[in-house]
Amino acid sequence: MAVKQQVKSTAKYRRPFQFNVGMIIFAIIFLYIVFSVYSYVSRDQIRYYEVQKGSIVRDQQYTGIAIRQEQAVNATSSGYVHYYIQDGRRVAVGSDVYTIDETGALQSYLKEHPELTTEMTSEQISDIRYRLSQFSQSFKNSNFSALYNTKYALDASALEYSSVANAQDLDDVLQKLGINYVRVSADQAGVVSYTIDGDEALTADAVTADLFTMSGYKRNITKPGALIESGQPVYKLITSEKWSLVFQLDDAGKAKYQDVKSVKVHFTESDLTVNATLQVFTGKDGNSYGQLDFTELMEQFCDERFIQFDIVTNDQKGLKIPVTAVTEKDFYIVPKAFKTTGPDGSTGFYREAVAQDGSGASVEFVPTDIYRIDDQYCYLSIPDDSNTSSIRTNNILVRPEAAASGQLDPTMTYPVGPVKSLQGVYNINRGYCIFRQIVPIEQNTDYLVVAENTDYGISVYDHIVLNASLVKDGQLVYQ
């Protein structure tokens, strides 16, 4: 007997929709974070600047020709030259300066025995690398001659660092080998330089405008081991610490420095500053020149003929702030004669008040914070619309003597209204923008130097808004 199987039908159960509060809150927080990040990235960033003491130097750049008491010393015989004295070093009378190897045997021996020459130390190599780095950062195509000046300076440094002056027992070794060479000593005391340009006899009154073009100018540096001929310059000797720089002056420069006797000179490439005496003269070509006389730094520049320098004409010191931090704010200006002291000892002004019952005008004392007082005016902050008790536009101020007599003479009154702008910055030490006035002393394209200890001014280490155009007075600022 067949058994029927009963088939059961099963219907799918759908769960009812449940409102997930957690997901909604998470979505709201996520959208808020996205909006906050977008708002922060897209808005102008308010940055602050910490006030520091500083200065702005006003200077005028020139190129000068170095004039020294120097002379070229010629070789006494032909041969290969080797030096005992490093470039830029001082030598005494009778001290050995160089040797002449007429046969070349010494040259060959030194090549076979490099230990007899001084190898450059890590400090000397670092010095050369530093000079190359400084040159690469400051080089400009408009001053291509600086390339040659740097090359000559590095050649002189390499010569100094590879001298045989420190070789030990060289004479004994060479005598045993039968190598003969001639020692040459200095007949005068002075500073030795191996850079020779043919202008060693140049004097200030012989300088002309053509020399500054450097047309045909050439410097020669005699290197160790070089073959020289008898009578050829082998080194130069500078016999005085006093030296000069002669530079060109236009009509404006001549008028500016005509009566100036001393100036501060800043050497741009070496970043050295020194005082010098100054005189203005007319050269043999009829052009005007300035002559700076020095009594120091001769050894530092003994290899240089053309030297760039600045004459520092102004060096104002104070609080140094960026130009972008400066803004302006309007103030009421009231003549100083209207300022008075109230019964309670506070400072303020007498203001004309009209009685509401029409009984006539009277005066009232209004205590007032005075932002600044100069030779003529008191500067008063302009109140907002909600402030009705402070002095406002069209108020009539009365001079103290007229208020005391009770006679309101129109010539003794002043209608409030004229305004004047003061320069200042926004101080944010308290977390919101407060206008503080500044008194500029000096300015260039990037910075101002302002006076210290001014009323309602700024102090060292104050935080000010770097870009004043992004904020307004009273605005909250998060540092």
Residue 330's pLDDT is 93
Portion of the chain with pLDDT greater than 70, in percent: 77
Q: Please state whether the predicted TM-score (pTM) of the whole model is above 0.85.
A: no
Asked if pLDDT for residue 223 goes beyond 80, the answer is no
CB 352 within 8 A of CB 408: yes
Q: Structural domain boundaries of the chain?
A: 60-317, 326-470
For residues 373, 374, 377, 380, the Cα torsion angle rounded to the nearest 10 degrees is -30
User: Do residues 424 and 430 make contact, with C-beta atoms less than 8 angstroms apart?
Assistant: no
Cβ neighbours of residue 144 closer than 8 Å, sequence gap 6 or more: none
Residue range 331-357: average pLDDT? 88
Contact 371, 379 (CB under 8 A): yes
Distance between CA atoms of residues 68 and 203, nearest Å: 8
Tokens for 412? 């003794």
Tens-digit pLDDT profile for residues 391-419: 999 999 999 988 888 777 788 899 999 99
Q: Give yes or no for residue 106 having a pLDDT over 70.
A: no
Q: Which band of pLDDT confidence, cut at 50, 70 and 90, is reported for residue 166?
A: very low
Question: Residue type for 141, please?
Answer: N
The rounded distance, in Å, linking the Cα atoms of 446 and 203 is 41
How would you class 194 by CB atoms within 10 Å of its CB: exposed for 0-12, middle for 13-18, buried for 19 or more? buried
Q: Is 106 helix (H, G, I), strand (E, B) or coil?
A: helix
What is the distance between the alpha carbons of residues 228 and 163, in angstroms, rounded to a whole number?
17
Pairing of strands 347-354, 340-341: antiparallel
Helix (H/G/I), strand (E/B), else coil: 435: strand
Out of 173-187, 207-221, 410-424, least confident range: 173-187
| Contacts with 164 (C-beta within 8 Å, 6 or more apart), sequence order | 82, 83, 84, 110, 116, 117, 118, 170, 224
Looking at every residue in the chain, the average pLDDT score rounds to: 82
- Is the Cβ–Cβ distance between 260 and 292 less than 8 Å? no
> Torsions phi, psi of 390, nearest 5?
-80, 170
Statement: residue 161 has pLDDT above 60: no
Per-residue model confidence as pLDDT tens digits over 136-156: 665 555 555 556 556 655 555
Asked if residue 394 lies in contact with residue 377, where contact means CB atoms within 8 angstroms, the answer is no
More confident residue, 389 or 21: 389
| Angstrom distance (rounded) from CA 7 to CA 235 | 122
> Residue 124's pLDDT band (boundaries 50, 70, 90)?
low
To the nearest 10 degrees (0 to 180), the angle between helices 105-112 and 170-177 is: 120
Report the alpha-carbon angle 195-196-198, nearest 5.
160
Mean pLDDT of 361-377: 88
Tell me how far apart the alpha carbons of residues 437 and 439 are, in angstroms, rounded to a whole number: 7
Local confidence band at 1 (pLDDT 50, 70, 90 cut-offs): very low
- Residue in the structure block whose two tokens are 């005699």: 222
Which residue's structure tokens are 């770097």?
466
Element (H, E) at 127: helix 122-138
pLDDT at residue 167 above 50?
A: no
Note the helical H segments in 197-263.
Answer: 251-257
- Asked if 329 and 389 touch (Cβ cutoff 8 Å), the reply is no
> 């769960």: which residue's tokens?
15
Q: Average pLDDT of 415-441?
A: 93
Measured CA to CA, the distance from residue 63 to residue 207 in angstroms comes to 13
Predicted pLDDT of residue 43: 60
Closest CA to 452 of 48, 55, 49: 55
Smallest Cα–Cα separation from 322: which of 440, 474, 428, 453? 440
The pLDDT score that the predictor gives to residue 467 is 93
pLDDT of residue 362: 82
100-104, 362-366, 367-371, 450-454: segment of lowest average pLDDT: 100-104
Which pLDDT tens digit goes with each residue over 19-58? 677 778 888 888 888 887 776 666 667 899 999 998 877 6
Reading phi first (left if > 0) and then psi (alpha if -120 to 50, else beta), residue 309 is in: beta
CA dist 87 and 194 (Å) reads 6
Alpha-carbon gap, residue 78 to 102, rounded angstroms: 6
Pseudo-torsion of CA 205, 208, 209, 213, nearest 10°?
Answer: -120
In the prediction, which pLDDT does 19 show?
60
pLDDT of residue 221: 81
